[in-house]
Amino acid sequence: MNLYQLASRVIEALEAESIPYMVVGALSSSVFGVPRATKDVDIVLQLLTREPLRRLETRLAEVVVFDPPVTFETLTGSVRHILTAKTRPPFIVELFELGSDLFAVERFSRRRSEWSSQIKRQVFLQTAEDVIVQKLRWGRPKDLEDVKDVLAVQTPAKLDMDYITRWCEIHQTSGHLRSVLAEIEPLL
Amino acid sequence: MTADPNRDAIKVLQEAIYRDKVLRSRAMTPAERLEEALELSNDIYAWMLDGAKAQCGLRSDEEGWVEVQRRLQTLRRIHESKLYKPVAA
């Protein structure tokens, strides 16, 4: 099973269980920046209880295993479930429960859908602005590279920079944002 | 200490390559970029399998995938050591 077949199965199962979702991580940054390889598919889920997650596990039992232990992201408190494909390659899907972090909640409310001919359906994704804000918040080297790519491809003129600036001030990442903008200036 | 005479030339080349990548991506639709990312991801796993088999002298794909998984789990532990913590049972 290839990565888009696995992504398709997971998204199909989420829709069948009426679980609102949004693809984040490298796949979403590729949609708005420079396409790059990733070893996993990251998806944020909006859950009122954990019951739909148990039904999802049953529904996907043929294709993935839910790996213990369940972990939480120290930055936002979001709980993460790791799913490993039972088929080869052993692709990973990471499911993040939407928590109460203010940015995470606003980011989820702004999600948009994009058609994928490989996944064969509309796929909900975070916006370009939210890719930038979240990746600046993580601040790892590869995150900053993704931010640079998204800003360079989309260009600040086409992005809601007021939104980005507001969240960067709250997250105290404005310095990173200024550095990346200076790097891409020759391309604008 | 002598400056590397090739450094400026390499930097110019790097910037030209990056500019090409950006211009190419700007010419693609979001759906095309998503599709390319999925294809690249499929390819990278195939390359990891070939690398693991060659480096460890493994004959079967299944042994290779076990080694790929072991490597990915090691990388995950290193990259995520302070970013994630187990949820208390």
Answer yes or no: is pLDDT of B41 > 90.
yes
d(CA B13, CA A143): 23
Query: Residues A8, A32: one domain?
Result: yes
Is A76 within a domain?
Answer: yes
What is the pLDDT at residue A73? Answer: 82
What is the pLDDT at residue B84? Answer: 84
Tokens of A141: 């080297």
Nearest Cβ partner for A89 among B25, B26, B65: B65
Nearest Cβ partner for B25 among A33, A70, A74: A33
What is the pLDDT at residue B77? Answer: 86
Nearest-Cα distance to chain A for B38, in Å, is 6
- Nearest chain A residue to B41, by CA: A37
What is the pLDDT at residue A92? Answer: 93
Q: Which of A126, A159, A179 is the last residue of a domain?
A: A126
- Nearest chain A residue to B36, by CA: A35
Rounded mean pLDDT, A49-60: 94
Query: Residues A38, A20: one domain?
Result: yes
Report pLDDT digits (tens) over B47-61: 999 999 999 999 999
Q: Are A41 and A7 in contact (CB under 8 A)?
A: yes
CB contact under 8 A, A34 and B65: no
What is the pLDDT at residue A5? Answer: 92
What is the pLDDT at residue B89? Answer: 57
Answer yes or no: is pLDDT of A101 > 80.
yes
Query: Residues A122, A138: one domain?
Result: no
Query: Residues A10, A85: one domain?
Result: yes
List of chain B residues whose C-beta atoms are within 8 Å of the C-beta of residue A149 = 22, 25
Query: Residues A171, A86: one domain?
Result: no
Helix boundaries (H) for B1-89: 7-26, 30-56, 61-79
CB contact under 8 A, A3 and B61: no
Lowest-confidence range among A3-12, A74-83, B32-41?
A74-83
Rounded mean pLDDT, A50-77: 89
Structural domains in chain A (count): 2
Query: Residues A145, A117: one domain?
Result: no
Is A106 within a domain?
Answer: no
Report pLDDT digits (tens) over A19-37: 999 999 999 999 999 999 9
Report pLDDT digits (tens) over B5-19: 788 889 889 999 999
pLDDT band, very low/low/confident/very high, at B1 (cuts 50, 70, 90): low
Answer yes or no: is pLDDT of B67 > 80.
yes
What percent of chain A has pLDDT above 90? 81
CB atoms closer than 10 angstroms to residue B70: 12
Is A28 within a domain?
Answer: yes
Query: Residues A115, A149: one domain?
Result: no
d(CA B81, CA B20): 36
Mean of per-residue pLDDT scores for chain B = 90
Q: How many CA atoms lie within 13 A of B59 on its CB side?
A: 0
Query: Residues A32, A85: one domain?
Result: yes
Query: Residues A45, A116: one domain?
Result: yes
Query: Residues A159, A94: one domain?
Result: no
Name the residue with higher pLDDT: A72 or A63.
A63
- Domain range for A21: 1-101+111-126
Answer yes or no: is pLDDT of B69 > 80.
yes
Mean of per-residue pLDDT scores for chain A = 94
What is the pLDDT at residue B6? Answer: 86
Answer yes or no: is pLDDT of B23 > 60.
yes
Query: pTM value?
Result: 0.91
Strands A79-85 and A112-116: unpaired
Query: Residues A27, A119: one domain?
Result: yes
Nearest-Cα distance to chain A for B44, in Å, is 7
B30 touches chain A (CB under 8 A): yes
Identify the CATH number of the domain in which residue A35 sits.
3.30.460.40
Query: Residues A82, A160: one domain?
Result: no
What percent of chain B has pLDDT above 90? 70
- The residue type found at A62 is E
Q: Are B83 and A73 in contact (CB under 8 A)?
A: yes
Rounded mean pLDDT, A99-104: 94
CB contact under 8 A, B37 and A116: no
Nearest-Cα distance to chain B for A58, in Å, is 21
Q: Are A137 and A35 in contact (CB under 8 A)?
A: no
- Nearest chain B residue to A86, by CA: B65
A112 touches chain B (CB under 8 A): no
List of chain B residues whose C-beta atoms are within 8 Å of the C-beta of residue A72 = 84-85, 87
What is the pLDDT at residue B4? Answer: 78
